Amino acid sequence: MSELSVNHLLGIKYITEKDIQLIFETADHFKEVIQRPIKKVPSLRDVTIANLFFENSTRTRLSFELAEKRLSADIVNFSAGSSSVKKGESLVDTVNNILSMKVDMVVMRHPNPGAGVFLSKHINASIINAGDGAHEHPTQALLDCYSIKERLGDVAGKKVVIVGDILHSRVALSNIFALQKLGATVKVCGPKTLMPRHIESLGVTYEPNLINALNWCDVANMLRVQNERMDISYFPSTREYTQQFGLNKSILDNLDKEIIVMHPGPINRGVEITSDVADSKQAIILDQVQNGLAVRMAILYLLASKIKRNDS
């Protein structure tokens, strides 16, 4: 039987193309399960999962929680705002306290890049990175690629442009890694000030003009400007950003071909995309959310099956 090459999902950087294909095949199965009248399966009975959210989250957190419930896991939830982290407790101490209650897996979102990697060296549980600062967001990239495959039949050979705040976006970095592992070509577009300095070293090209980028691509992934990660201003005004890099219906309708529009959420309607684009049939934003559930079930299932084998 196939299994993942890793015991944790810390980033797309650490997994192989084969791992991604296995996650997708497993997600296909769970996608069928969640359409059934009885959506719950006993696969993770006796597995205890802690959801540790040290940073705000709506859809990722709900998606993980629902995925765990559909797999019949026992879960405990923690959010930093209401915890002893505010009293000065260290990350390892907080997590070890939780783990002493015999937790098998940890799903963690944390503002510090590398928090998951750090934790994996200090605790004895399987860790899933649900976003570590501006570094990686592996489950988002996997659900994005899964959604592209579902809509276009394959990721290999497709042209994808990621538009917006590449500098502060963990979604961008994980998507670049995942898309390239699966054989897509990636361009990035947005204000020059929001591009990491050596972005080309990742094997992507920078296209400063939105219309050129859109006319080139099969898929446009429109990212939110991460204002919460900015201590200075990177462009003159939101209005100006929207004028140059916002996607509206008239731009979409006047392209040379029909493209797919993606967005990881939360959307700032009227900034990176207008409402009529977000709600158009070319947008697969809600498919992404639905696929997120199946993809996260697949990851939890595949990692949990490794824990059990390690125990025995």
Active site residues: 59-60, 87, 109, 137
Residue 171 makes contact with ligand NCD by CB under 6 A = yes
Can you name the residues that pair with 53 across neighbouring β-strands? Answer: 79, 109
To the nearest whole angstrom, how small is the minimum distance from the Cβ of residue 101 to ligand NCD? Answer: 27
| Residue 58-87 contact track with ligand NCD, rule CB under 6 A, x = bound | -xx---------------------------
Nearest to ligand NCD of 104, 272 (CB atom): 272
CB 291 within 8 A of CB 12: no
To the nearest whole angstrom, how small is the minimum distance from the Cβ of residue 56 to ligand NCD? Answer: 8
Helix (H) or strand (E) run with residue 25 in it: helix 17-33
Residue 140 makes contact with ligand NCD by CB under 6 A = yes
To the nearest whole angstrom, how small is the minimum distance from the Cβ of residue 255 to ligand NCD? Answer: 24
By CB under 6 A, the residues from 41 to 60 that bind ligand NCD are: 59-60
CB 252 within 8 A of CB 277: yes
Residue 224 makes contact with ligand NCD by CB under 6 A = yes
State the helix-helix crossing angle for 138-152 and 17-33, rounded to 10 degrees: 70
In total, the chain counts a number of residues equal to 312
- AA identity, residue 227: N
- Which is it for strands 105-110 and 205-206: parallel, antiparallel or unpaired? unpaired
To the nearest whole angstrom, how small is the minimum distance from the Cβ of residue 10 to ligand NCD? Answer: 16
Give me the residue whose beta carbon is nearest to ligand NCD.
224
The conformation of residue 6, written as its DSSP 8-state character, comes to -
Before 42, cis peptide (omega within 30)?
A: no
Q: Which of 11, 131, 190, 191 binds ligand NCD (CB under 6 A)?
A: 131
Nearest to ligand NCD of 158, 296 (CB atom): 296
How buried is 124 (Cβ within 10 angstroms: 0-12 exposed, 13-18 middle, 19+ buried)? exposed
Residue 110 makes contact with ligand NCD by CB under 6 A = no
Residue 170 makes contact with ligand NCD by CB under 6 A = yes
Residue 274 makes contact with ligand NCD by CB under 6 A = no
Residue 191 makes contact with ligand NCD by CB under 6 A = no
- AA identity, residue 297: M
The sign one gets for the Cα dihedral 11, 171, 133, 101 is negative
Judged by the rule CB under 6 A, the positions of this chain that interact with ligand NCD are: 59-60, 131, 137, 140, 170-171, 224, 264-265
